[in-house]
Amino acid sequence: MKTLMQAAFAAGALCLAASAAMAEPAVVYDAGGKFDKSFNEAAYNGIEKFKKETGSSYLEFEVQADAQREQAFRKMAQRGADPIIGIGFSQESAIKKVAPEFPNIRFVIIDSVVDLPNVQSIVFKEQEGSYLVGVLAALASKTGKVGFVGGMDIPLISRFQCGYAQGAKAANPNIEVLANMTGTTPAAWNDPTRGAELAKGQFDRGADVVFAAAGGTGTGVYQAAKDNGKLAIGVDSNQNHLQPGTMLTSMLKRVDVAVYETAKAAKDGTWKAGVTVLGLKEGGVDWALDEHNKSLITDDMKAKVEAAKADIVSGKVEVHDYMSDNACPN
């Protein structure tokens, strides 16, 4: 009898595992849409890779308004999606509310931490990748002034700004870093016209390289750089191809890898709740060099940025995290 009971429990566990393995993952994109050529699109590329490699389908939803977030996660859970991957810190409150209602479904949040037993939180050391592109910006600048255009004015984007400034000053202690945020609402992620205006303002003040950490708003920054004969730096995805010859590099934030890996782990039965932190050492952030920007990166620049990367990975250089104290070193 005991053996039969054990066998029944084992069969039940196998059924649960099989059910989870057969479930479709779901992705809930943040404001700006899945084709923002940046953050959301990186997530889209990751889930598409998972689909192509495994043959699995997936569900998706593009958030248009904050009121839709909780509804989207609950609807995905009711449909049996597993895992349900929330793209962006703005999904935090919805996941906190919905995940406890569905304890047998796995949730993932990217760019924030939700401490629940069925949630995996994936965060990045954006300051480390930003430091590297800051080094390149300072080395490429002929005016001694570089710029930064952020999206929504939040601590996460200040983390990019602070790392960028620290890297630029490491390469040139006399560099001046100009900075603007696009706005204080989610609309700041998808306003190319405003992005172009802010970039133009920085160019008029002497900046000749500008880094945009602003989602879809960045496309306006890159166009303005091209129109004014300046250089721009992309973010999240490799955006070098958007304006070849204008894009100095891109700060890669491997949201695509994070989405792919968490979906695959859920399918393979190796998924774990908890916090995952991805920096340079883990391959979570980096700078981009390809056929679209290689003519802008000299051997000396490449050697210096790779040396900076090695110093960060080894621990010789520590890049300050703005979100640790809401301050940026001078």
Distance of alpha carbon 181 from alpha carbon 212, whole angstroms: 10
For the segment 91-97, the average pLDDT, to the nearest whole number, is 97
- Report the pLDDT value the prediction gives residue 23, as an integer from 0 to 100: 84
* Residue 205 pLDDT exceeds 70: yes
Q: What is the largest CA-CA distance in the chain?
A: 83
Collapsing DSSP to helix, strand or coil, 180 comes out as strand
Question: CB neighbours (10 Å) of residue 116?
Answer: 15
Distance of alpha carbon 14 from alpha carbon 308, whole angstroms: 49
pLDDT per residue as tens digits for the range 17-75: 334 445 899 999 998 889 988 889 999 999 999 999 999 999 999 998 889 999 999 99
Tokens 């100095």 locate to 248
For the segment 137-148, the average pLDDT, to the nearest whole number, is 98
The fold of 2-125+256-278 is Rossmann fold (3.40.50)
Q: How are the residues of the chain apportioned to helix, strand and coil, as percentages rounded to the nearest 5?
A: 50, 20, 30
For the segment 255-283, the average pLDDT, to the nearest whole number, is 95
- Report the pLDDT value the prediction gives residue 13, as an integer from 0 to 100: 33
Collapsing DSSP to helix, strand or coil, 185 comes out as coil
Sign of torsion, CA 56 59 62 63? negative
Percent of the chain with pLDDT over 70: 93
For the segment 186-202, the average pLDDT, to the nearest whole number, is 96
- Report the pLDDT value the prediction gives residue 31, as an integer from 0 to 100: 84
pLDDT per residue as tens digits for the range 206-224: 999 999 999 999 999 999 9
Distance of alpha carbon 211 from alpha carbon 57, whole angstroms: 36
Q: Domain ranges for the chain, please list them.
A: 2-125+256-278, 127-253+285-325
- Report the pLDDT value the prediction gives residue 221, as an integer from 0 to 100: 98
* Residue 238 pLDDT exceeds 90: yes
Least confident piece of the model among 20-34, 59-73, 187-201, 269-283: 20-34
Collapsing DSSP to helix, strand or coil, 92 comes out as helix
What is the rounded average pLDDT for all residues in the chain? 92
Collapsing DSSP to helix, strand or coil, 315 comes out as coil
pLDDT per residue as tens digits for the range 302-327: 999 999 999 999 999 999 999 999 99
Q: Side chain identity at 129, as an amino acid letter?
A: G
Peptide bond into 192 cis (omega under 30): no
- Report the pLDDT value the prediction gives residue 4, as an integer from 0 to 100: 26
Do residues 134 and 171 lie in contact, with contact meaning Cβ atoms separated by under 8 Å?
A: yes
* Residue 100 pLDDT exceeds 60: yes
Structure tokens at 145: 């002034």
- Report the pLDDT value the prediction gives residue 36, as an integer from 0 to 100: 84
Least confident piece of the model among 33-42, 105-114, 238-247: 33-42
- Report the pLDDT value the prediction gives residue 144, as an integer from 0 to 100: 98
Half-sphere exposure of 264 (CA within 13 A, CB side): 15
**CATH architecture for segment(s) 127-253+285-325:** 3-Layer(aba) Sandwich (3.40)
Question: CB neighbours (10 Å) of residue 36?
Answer: 25
- Report the pLDDT value the prediction gives residue 38, as an integer from 0 to 100: 85
- Report the pLDDT value the prediction gives residue 212, as an integer from 0 to 100: 98
Structure tokens at 197: 């205006």
* Topology alike, domains 2-125+256-278 and 127-253+285-325: yes
Distance of alpha carbon 140 from alpha carbon 35, whole angstroms: 30
Distance of alpha carbon 240 from alpha carbon 220, whole angstroms: 14
* Residue 168 pLDDT exceeds 70: yes
Distance of alpha carbon 207 from alpha carbon 203, whole angstroms: 5
Q: How far is CA 327 from the centre of its chain?
A: 21
Where are the strands (E) in 153-273, listed by range?
Answer: 176-183, 209-213, 231-236, 247-253
Distance of alpha carbon 4 from alpha carbon 174, whole angstroms: 76
- Report the pLDDT value the prediction gives residue 329, as an integer from 0 to 100: 83
Q: Residue 164 carries which DSSP code?
A: H
- Report the pLDDT value the prediction gives residue 33, as an integer from 0 to 100: 84
